[in-house]
Amino acid sequence: MRHAAAAIAVPVATTVAMLYARLVASLTGPGPRRLAALLPAMALLPVLPLALPYYSYRGFSAFVFVWLGEFKLLLLAFGRGPLDPALRPLPFVFTAALPVKLVDPAAAAGASRPPPTAATFKFVVSFAIKVGAMAAIVRVLHAKEEMHRYTAFALNAVFIYCFLDTVLRGLGAAGGALGMEMEPQFDRPYLSASLQDFWGRRWNLMASAVLRAAVYDPVRARSGAPAAGVLTAFLVSGLMHEVVILYMTSQAPTGRVTAFFALHGACVCAERWWCARRCEARPPRAVAAPLVLGFVAGTAFWLFFPEIYGGGMDDLYLAEMTRFAKSLGLCGRWTGENKF
C-alpha cells in the first residue's frame, strides 16, 4: 500500500510543482525575482526521491529530479535552457519533469527522418534486445559469487546502459504518442571515436545539454578559456553524481566519483589540445572506439563502480530487481528459478 501511494504521490507532486513553475515563469521575467518565485518547486524536488521504496528507484529519480530538474529550473529562472513558459502545459511538464528534450523545430525541418514504420520496427527490436539483455544479466548475476569483481562491474555497466536507453526511448515514444517529438538521449556510445565524442555527442545527451547551458557556456564566456568550461562542467557532473549515489546508497561520498569525472575532464582537454595540433594523426574509428571504451571502462572499474556497487549494494540492487520481477510474474525468467 505504501509503495502504491508513493507511486501515485510522486508523479502528482512533480506535475503540480512543474505547473507552478510554468505559471511563475509566465508571470515574471528572467532574473532573481523569478528565481525566488521558483524556490518552492526547487525545494520540493530533492524530497521526492526519498518517498520511493527502492534504492535503485531513488537513484534514478535523484538523477531526474535533483540533478536535471533542479538545473532546468535554475536555467528557466534566467531565461535559458530547454524550458519555455510559452510551451503548452503538457510539453512543459513532460520536459521539465523527465530526462527528455523536445526536438528543435528549426533543426528538425531540414533533418531527414526514417519512415514511421521503419522507426517503429527499430524501436521494438532495440527494446526487445535490451530487455532480453537485462534479463540475462540479472540471471547471470545471481551466480556472481563465482564471478570476478570486474566481470560483475562490466555486466552492471551494460545493464545501466540498457536500462537508461530503454527507459529514455520509452519516454520518447510516449512523448511521440502525445504529439511531442523528442531528441534521442543516447547515440550508440560504443562507436565513440574520442572521449569528447563519447561524453559530448553520444552518452546521456540530456545531462550534456544541461551542463553545457548551465556550466560550460557561462564559465567559458567569463574566463575566455574553453578548457576552464570543460573542467568545470566535468567537476560539477562529478559532484552531482556523488549526490545521486548518496540517494542510492545512503553512504557519505568519498570523492572517488568526482575524481573519475575530473580525470575525464582533464583527458578531454588534453585530447582537444592534441587534436588541434595533430588532427591528421587521429586513429580510425575501428581502432579508436575500443580504446575509448577501454579507457572509460577501466577508469570506471577503478573509481566509479565501487562507489555504486561496493559495500553489499550490488546484492541489495539485485534483490530489488528480483522482487520487482516477481511482482510482474517474471521471477523464474529473470532469475532462473522454476518457481517463486
Q: Which of 254-263's residues contact partners 24+ apart within 8 Å by CB, and which partners?
A: 254/307, 256/303, 256/304, 256/306, 256/307, 257/303, 257/304, 257/307, 259/303, 260/299, 260/300, 260/302, 260/303, 260/304, 261/234, 261/235, 261/237, 262/231, 262/234, 262/235, 262/238, 263/299, 263/303
The count of domains in the chain is 3
- SS3 per-residue string spanning 224-292: CCHHHHHHHHHHHHHHHHHHHHHHHHCCCCCCHHHHHHHHHHHHHHHHHHHHHHCHHHCCCHHHHHHHH
Which pLDDT score, from 0 to 100, does residue 338 have?
45
Sign of the C-alpha dihedral computed for residues 301, 186, 243 and 60 taken in this order: negative
Domain stop point among 53, 70, 102:
102
- 273 domain residue, yes or no: yes
Q: Is the same domain home to 245 and 150?
A: no
Task: Write out pLDDT tens, residues 165-219.
Answer: 888 888 888 887 777 777 788 889 999 999 999 999 999 888 999 999 999 999 9
Q: Is the same domain home to 203 and 175?
A: no
Rounded Cα–Cα distance for residues 214 and 75 (Å): 7
Which pLDDT score, from 0 to 100, does residue 34 have?
97
- 123 domain residue, yes or no: yes
This prediction has a pTM of 0.86
Rounded Cα–Cα distance for residues 116 and 120 (Å): 6
Q: Is the same domain home to 47 and 85?
A: yes
Alpha-carbon separation of residue 69 from 135, 207, 287 (angstroms): 30, 10, 37
67 and 214 Cβ atoms separated by less than 8 Å = no
Q: Is the same domain home to 194 and 288?
A: yes
Q: Read off the C-alpha cell for 214.
A: 548551465
Q: Is the same domain home to 229 and 309?
A: yes
Rounded Cα–Cα distance for residues 157 and 151 (Å): 10
Which pLDDT score, from 0 to 100, does residue 141 have?
80
- 107 domain residue, yes or no: no
Amino acid identity of residue 270, one-letter, is: A
Percentage of the chain beyond pLDDT 70 is 87
Q: Is the same domain home to 35 and 97?
A: yes
Q: Is the same domain home to 83 and 148?
A: no
Q: Read off the C-alpha cell for 41.
A: 518547486
- 109 domain residue, yes or no: no
Largest CA distance in the chain: 63
Q: Is the same domain home to 264 and 303?
A: yes
- Residues of the domain holding 171: 116-182
- 295 domain residue, yes or no: yes
Which pLDDT score, from 0 to 100, does residue 317 have?
79
Number of residues assigned to the chain: 340
- 233 domain residue, yes or no: yes
Q: Is the same domain home to 50 and 130?
A: no
Helices (H), the chain: 2-27, 32-44, 55-61, 70-77, 89-97, 105-109, 116-141, 149-177, 195-197, 205-211, 217-223, 226-249, 256-277, 285-299, 305-309, 313-327, 331-335
Q: Is the same domain home to 20 and 88?
A: yes
Q: Is the same domain home to 230 and 152?
A: no
Which pLDDT score, from 0 to 100, does residue 339 have?
40
When computed from its CA atoms, the radius of gyration of the chain, rounded to whole angstroms, is 21
Which pLDDT score, from 0 to 100, does residue 64 have?
93
- 238 domain residue, yes or no: yes
Q: Read off the C-alpha cell for 114.
A: 526514417
Rounded Cα–Cα distance for residues 200 and 240 (Å): 17
Q: Is the same domain home to 92 and 198?
A: no
pLDDT along the chain (340 residues), means of 10: 71 95 96 97 95 83 94 96 92 91 63 63 84 85 74 86 86 79 85 94 91 95 94 97 92 93 96 80 86 95 90 78 62 48
